[in-house]
Chains A and B, each alone.
Chain A
């Protein structure tokens, strides 16, 4: 049986791992290559890098990081942040990334999703959704959660599936960095409406939140940053706990 995945996420700014709350207030958390190695050795199922470097000229650093990490870390690596074109994706995959996550550029130009899934295959393209609760539903935001789009998150999830995205990375802007749990209603609503895997993101504060994301939100994978970075929990003891709650987890 396919196991549920535990994915540490490294937000990278100018070559360093940082972590903020609700997309702002950044604090430094460490070196991305060292942290990725540590997570690999402690049983992470995948690793996600989100390049939040604001300036375009500094973006080459993420390529260098991925290249270094992929020499030592033999699990899937996903890179997101600032991807604009098929050429950007090609560069990342050639450096050792397995998947890329596309957010703003896909909202501005849907063709980028279909073109890149045609070219690289659905398995290489993750559709990233940053969603904020509205009265009735959720709205997606672009530009790192800063810009309102007026697009309904559930509609956009369905559209990303149709355009060929292989999985969805669903981040709740409201919950991000708050460590009070994932937005379970958002996860439920999206998993009920698409048939591709869903990675839950934004809000993990304890392994119990992951249990909820799997059992209530029907997520296939959970993303977490601060609870692992600041060593509140290790991947290993998180996995032991999830297993004790009956979640199907890879253990070695």
Chain B
């Protein structure tokens, strides 16, 4: 089983490759939509800003490919911006996202420090196999200024408290997305990749 990692010049892909290697999974990194269409499972990472990420996705002609993979039912793990981009629109740059899921991406309120940087707890909701063997309220590493506000609350699989309680993990059918960085969250983060590969994908 080979995982395809989407490369659109967005951040630290080496960490994701290292994490997959560590849990014994083979992987390939691509910015070619034709190659991506062959994927049996996808990791969609993301750092940086929503507008520049969208611009890059368009530049590499990957928007339609990503949409069709999600719609076709290919197992898909979104990380950080790779979660936010799935929704209708973001406050960042006042732009539309890929629109696969209903909801918005507001900015974290100034009543707390922005960006949120560091380790925070995830309260598991509607137990999802991505969190198998991960205790409730475990710590994961966060690094973000915006968060997703999905319309369908039933698809929220994890909550985090930072100023307000917000959605830090989301799943809909074959898609699962996390706001935190599993590749930077120690052993429990590696467990997320392990669960994705060995439980979510198969």
Binding site for B on A (CB under 8 A): 1-5, 40, 45, 67, 70-71, 74-76, 93-98, 118-124, 166-167, 195-197, 220-221, 250, 252
Contacts and interface: CB of A to CB of B under 8 A. Distances in A.
B12 A98 contact: yes
Nearest to B116: A2
Per DSSP, chain B at the interface is mixed
B72 interface: no
Contacts, number: 112
Interface stretch (B15-23, B33-41, B125-133, B147-155): B15-23
Interface string B47-76: 111001000000000000000000000000
Interface string B176-202: 000001011111111000000000000
Contacts of B91: none
A200 B141 CA distance: 19
Interface of B: 11-15, 18-19, 21-22, 47-49, 52, 110, 112-121, 139, 141-145, 161-162, 181, 183-190
A76 B189 CA distance: 12
B14 A70 contact: yes
Given A2-B162, A5-B118, A70-B14, A76 B143 contact: yes
B186 A74 contact: yes
Given A1-B161, A98-B15, A74 B115 contact: no
Given A74-B189, A96-B14, A250-B139, A2 B52 contact: no
A122 B118 contact: no
B119 A5 contact: yes
A96 B139 contact: no
Contact of B18 (A1, A3, A96, A197): A96
A120 B48 contact: yes
A196 B115 contact: yes
A98 B183 CA distance: 11
B113 A197 contact: yes
22 contacts: A1-B121, A1-B162, A2-B119, A3-B120, A3-B139, A5-B118, A45-B119, A70-B18, A71-B22, A75-B141, A93-B11, A93-B12, A97-B12, A98-B15, A118-B49, A118-B52, A121-B52, A123-B115, A123-B143, A197-B118, A252-B139, A252-B186
Contacts of A221: 118
For the complex of A and B, 3 pairs with smallest distance between CB atoms: A121-B48, A96-B14, A250-B119
B110 A74 contact: no
A124 B143 CA distance: 9
A252 B140 CA distance: 11
Nearest to A4: B118
Given A1-B161, A118-B52, A252-B139, A167 B117 contact: yes
Given A75-B186, A96-B15, A124 B47 contact: yes
Nearest to A194: B113
Given A119-B48, A167-B117, A195-B110, 20 more contacts: A1-B161, A2-B116, A40-B186, A45-B119, A70-B18, A74-B19, A74-B184, A74-B185, A74-B189, A74-B190, A76-B184, A94-B13, A94-B14, A95-B14, A96-B14, A123-B115, A123-B117, A166-B143, A197-B115, A197-B118
Contacts of A76: 141, 143, 181, 184
A197 B185 CA distance: 19
Contacts of B185: 74-75
Contacts of A98: 12, 15, 143, 184
Residue from A4, A75, A195 having most chain B Cβ neighbours under 10 A: A75
Contacts of A4: 118
A3 B118 contact: yes
Nearest to B114: A195
A87 B188 CA distance: 33
B175 to A, nearest CB: 23
